[in-house]
Amino acid sequence: SPLHPFLQSLPKCEHHMHLEGSLSPSLLFTLASRNKITLPASADSAFTSPETLLDRYTRFTSLDDFLRYYYISMGCLIYEADFEQLAWDYFVRAKSDGVMHAEVFFDPQAHTERGIDYETVVNGFEKACKRAEQELEVTTKLIMCFVRHLPVEHTNETYIQAEPHLVSGRLAGIGLDSSEEGHPPRKWHEVYGKAKKQGIRRTAHAGEEGPAEYIREALTHLDIERIDHGIRLADDKELMREVAERKMLVTMCPLSNLKLRCVKEIGELPIRTFLDSGVSFSINSDDPAYFSGYILDNYCAVQEAFGLTVQEWENIAKASVNGSWCDGSRKDAIL
Ligand code: HPA
Ligand code: ZN
């Protein structure tokens, strides 16, 4: 697109990317060999080489199909240095895409469940965050997500483990991700209620594969402050008006939605509808190593499908800054 240099230089924030989702097949094979992890190539030939795996990533059939690769692959992350390297590589790339501030998700349960210490994960990610701030001038926030395919009791234990970090601000907030269908948000109301009482920021994936009703539930039962994905919001006009009025941010991930077949083409996403209805949204990469696109690729894919004006793009980037959880002085510095 002729707008590419402009889109790149636009100061922007990213709010919806999973650090584990930036694990590329090449880093996966490097870590597997370094950490002596055997990939399940005999059960699934996609794990034969980085090339076969990348090829398989062009044919995801659903969120769950992708999640299978996502959880198997993160099994090669063992040491603090592995987590640090993963996050650092992402921050370097984000910087080159014009990201000034990144709020990134991670899934502690996916690691503790396989015997990795919670502290190993957080310490590694935190080191990368500190380095990004010092060496790249990219500010960062870590958001821990609960995985909805595991029992709610597991979530409560994880919350207790993370509580000191959430209260001290070492972690910026909580989110909810993984398999959506059959896992209605209301199941997590207790832990979200506790977080709210403690003044902890809350977001949740809702309306990605699941219905608009799940977005409504996440608003009423979890009292979330941001909506991750939220593409089904356009199916419920009354709810959409409420979200617009409350100026809540919807964190959209266009290439993810395309690759996981939530839509047949980018043009089906409610970008125009959101712009016309005053819904604030940001554009994000979700799992860049799996959906062959970092944040700028997502901006460009939206531009190709919708042909937005320079003014509209400036407004989108501005909304991404204003919808961030950083303080006002940082927002002013970015804008
Ligand atoms: N949706 C749900 N869970 C996830 C995703 C996603 O897009 N990426 C990583 N975990
Ligand atoms: Zn996501």
Per-residue model confidence as pLDDT tens digits over 68-127: 999 999 999 999 999 999 999 999 999 999 999 999 999 999 999 999 999 999 999 999
Whole-angstrom distance, CA of residue 21 vs CA of residue 66? 10
Q: Is residue 52's pLDDT more than 90?
A: yes
Ligand 2 centroid from CA 124, angstroms: 21
Of 219, 146, 334, the C-alpha closest to 326 is: 334
pLDDT per position as a tens digit, 175-214: 999 999 999 999 999 999 999 999 999 999 999 999 999 9
Does ipTM top 0.90? yes
Q: How many CB atoms lie within 10 A of CB 169?
A: 12
User: How far is C-alpha 264 from the chain's CA centre?
Assistant: 21
Question: DSSP string of 230-292?
Answer: -GGGGG-HHHHHHHHHTTPEEEE-HHHHHHTTSSSSGGGSTHHHHHHHT-EEEE--BSTTTTT
How confident is the model over 146-160, as a mean pLDDT? Answer: 95
* Span 248-305, pLDDT tens digits: 999 999 999 999 999 999 999 999 999 999 999 999 999 999 999 999 999 999 999 9
- Give the pLDDT score at 243: 98
Number of residues written out for the chain: 335
Per the structure block, which two tokens stand in for 139? 């500010």
How far, in Å, from the CA of 149 to the mean position of ligand 1? 11
- Domains, the chain: 4-26+81-334 (3.20.20.140)
CB 281 within 8 A of CB 251: yes
For residues 326-332, give the mean pLDDT: 97
Determine which one of 103, 180, 208, 217 is catalytic. Answer: 208
Q: Averaged over 318-332, what is the pLDDT?
A: 97
**Closest Cα to atom 5 of ligand 1:** 178
Mean pLDDT of the chain: 97
Residue 120 CA to ligand 2 centre (angstroms): 22
Percent of the chain's residues with pLDDT above 70: 100
Which residue ranges have their beta carbon within 6 Å of ligand 1?
Answer: 18, 21, 63, 70, 177-178, 205, 208, 256, 286-287
pLDDT score at 92: 98
pLDDT at 2: 85
Q: What is the pLDDT of residue 1?
A: 78
Prediction pTM value:
0.98
Maximal C-alpha separation, the chain: 53
Q: What percent of the chain has pLDDT over 90?
A: 99
